[in-house]
């Protein structure tokens, strides 16, 4: 993988030019894209011309190549949302996150594969760690492109688990910030109370660097060693759904973090959060039926069978059920804040286990739904493996405390690397 932070430092120090960083990406794309299928649109020639701009080394992103999930509008690339309904569609403007990335000195290399309208319908992308296994979804192309060293930074989105889960399956860092920290203007909505834009990178410091550069916020965590965090080791009704290997990974990482100086305490989530977990389904279904109203009403036959049937079922969710689900979510946020009052972050699985074999599923987002509904910042910390397949460790912070969450994730990542030799 390509470390965005390492490349940026080398460009800033004059050791590397932006064009050379782009060439590294191009080499990896040439070597692996035919097998991995991470991109739906690429323009290396335009990217090469952009990389010659002498001002790039002084910009926040230093001229690094960046890729965007194909639900972000782009004026220079088609934006097709993973659907034949939008074949060849070319927006007139960039999504805000794309425009901010360009403003920060990022070079947009291309658009990555998304599942159909960011749903759970599998895409053609394969997992670079083992192409016989799913890369996850719906940000499948973004996670795979970073894992295959095709790009150092890629953007995705999460409605249930579409950043953290593919990051876990592909063995990269994934950062789902607090709800709406990254603007979603110009991004195809699926569920407007859930959708959150996020980032993929080689490691925790890489996604923190990129987020800081694009958002012009104090989010970098590479300037000083992170302090030892207070970690809540989460127990919930979902815990038994984790595989034996995943449960072992979480317990092992908790011990590693504690040995490194973190305080670790078991925290059982209040039972009301089980109701909030179920509420996430209700909110997502109700809003998806409405977010895709045009496509469903005018082009229903062009929507894939799996997604079409999902929307058919979603049509039955009433406004009363939806309103009740939102009230449940609101109460759950207060309960979660109380449960986390004495802790900086929570430690939990990023997924039930390693990436499942086969390409007929994107995996289960069970360990992500609640955190997305809570709007909390989440980071997949890479570095743990099960028979050579990555196992994702998830750090969950408090809403609006994104830098603290990133610092805790970096602490865990470094502790894991020292102990496991990653």
Bridge pairing between strands 173-176 and 196-201: antiparallel
User: Does 161 reside within a domain?
Assistant: yes
Distance of alpha carbon 298 from alpha carbon 240, whole angstroms = 43
- Within 10 angstroms of residue 421's Cβ, the number of other Cβ atoms is 7
Domain region containing 31: 4-215
Going by C-alpha positions, the residue among 254, 257, 237 that lies closest to residue 369 is 237
Q: Contact 113/124 with Cβ under 8 angstroms?
A: yes
> Cα–Cα distances in Å, from 226 out to 66, 199, 270, 407?
27, 21, 30, 5
Please give the pLDDT value at position 65.
Answer: 98
Q: Which two three-digit tokens encode residue 272?
A: 């009301």
Describe the chain by its helix, strand, coil percentages, rounded to 5: 45, 15, 40
Distance from the first to the final alpha carbon of the chain: 13
User: Does 272 reside within a domain?
Assistant: no
User: Does 59 reside within a domain?
Assistant: yes
Question: CB under 8 Å to 341, separation ≥6 — which residues?
Answer: none
Weakly modelled stretches of the chain, pLDDT under 50:
none
User: Does 99 reside within a domain?
Assistant: yes
How many domains does the chain contain in total?
1
Please give the pLDDT value at position 363.
Answer: 97
0.95 surpassed by pTM: yes
331-341 per-position pLDDT tens digit: 999 999 999 99
Percent of the chain surpassing pLDDT 70:
100
User: Does 333 reside within a domain?
Assistant: no
Going by C-alpha positions, the residue among 321, 264, 311 that lies closest to residue 285 is 311
Exposure class string for 240-278: b at 16+ Cβ within 10 A, else e: eebeebbbebbebbbebbbeeebebeebebbeebeebbe
Please give the pLDDT value at position 421.
Answer: 78
User: Does 145 reside within a domain?
Assistant: yes
> Cα–Cα distances in Å, from 388 out to 128, 164, 173, 234?
12, 19, 17, 26
User: Does 205 reside within a domain?
Assistant: yes
Q: Which of the 8 DSSP states describes residue 197?
A: E
User: Does 297 reside within a domain?
Assistant: no
Distance of alpha carbon 85 from alpha carbon 82, whole angstroms = 9
CATH number of residue 47's parent domain? 3.90.1300.10
Q: Which two three-digit tokens encode residue 186?
A: 């110009």
Q: Contact 341/282 with Cβ under 8 angstroms?
A: no
């Amino acid at each position: 993988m390509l470390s965005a932070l390492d490349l940026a430092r080398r460009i800033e120090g004059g050791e590397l030019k932006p064009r050379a960083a782009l060439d590294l990406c191009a080499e990896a794309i040439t070597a692996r894209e035919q097998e991995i299928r991470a991109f739906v649109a690429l323009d290396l020639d335009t990217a090469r011309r952009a990389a010659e701009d002498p001002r790039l080394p002084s910009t926040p992103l230093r001229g690094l190549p960046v890729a965007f999930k194909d639900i972000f509008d782009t004026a220079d690339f088609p934006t097709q949302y993973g659907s034949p309904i939008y074949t060849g569609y070319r927006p007139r403007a960039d999504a805000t996150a794309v425009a901010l990335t360009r403003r920060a000195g990022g070079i947009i290399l291309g658009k990555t594969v998304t599942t159909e309208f960011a749903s759970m319908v599998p895409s053609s992308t394969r997992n670079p760690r083992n192409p016989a296994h799913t890369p996850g979804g719906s940000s499948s192309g973004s996670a795979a492109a970073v894992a295959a060293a095709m790009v150092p930074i890629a953007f995705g989105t999460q409605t249930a688990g579409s950043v953290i889960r593919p990051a876990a399956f592909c063995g990269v860092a994934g950062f789902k910030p607090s709800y709406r920290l990254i603007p979603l203007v110009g991004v195809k909505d699926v569920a407007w109370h859930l959708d959150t834009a996020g980032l993929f990178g080689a490691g925790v410091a890489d996604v923190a660097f990129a987020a800081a550069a694009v958002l012009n916020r104090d989010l970098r965590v590479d300037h000083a060693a992170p302090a030892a965090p207070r970690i809540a080791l989460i127990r919930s009704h979902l815990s038994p759904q984790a595989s034996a290997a995943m449960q072992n990974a979480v317990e092992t990482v908790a011990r590693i973090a504690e040995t490194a100086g973190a305080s670790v305490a078991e925290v059982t989530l209040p039972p009301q959060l089980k109701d909030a977990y179920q509420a996430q389904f209700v909110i997502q279904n109700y809003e998806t039926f409405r977010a895709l109203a045009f496509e469903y009403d005018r082009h229903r036959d062009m929507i894939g069978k799996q997604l079409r049937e999902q929307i058919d079922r979603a049509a039955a969710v009433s406004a009363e059920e939806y309103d009740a689900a939102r009230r449940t979510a609101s109460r759950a946020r207060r309960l979660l804040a109380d449960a986390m009052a004495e802790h900086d972050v929570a430690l939990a699985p990023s997924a039930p286990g390693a990436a499942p074999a086969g390409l007929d599923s994107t995996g289960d987002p069970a360990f992500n739904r609640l955190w997305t509904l809570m709007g909390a910042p989440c980071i997949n910390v890479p570095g743990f493996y099960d028979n050579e397949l990555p196992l994702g460790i998830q750090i969950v912070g408090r809403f609006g405390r994104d830098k603290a969450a990133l610092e805790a994730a970096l602490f865990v990542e470094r502790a894991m690397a020292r102990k496991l030799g990653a």
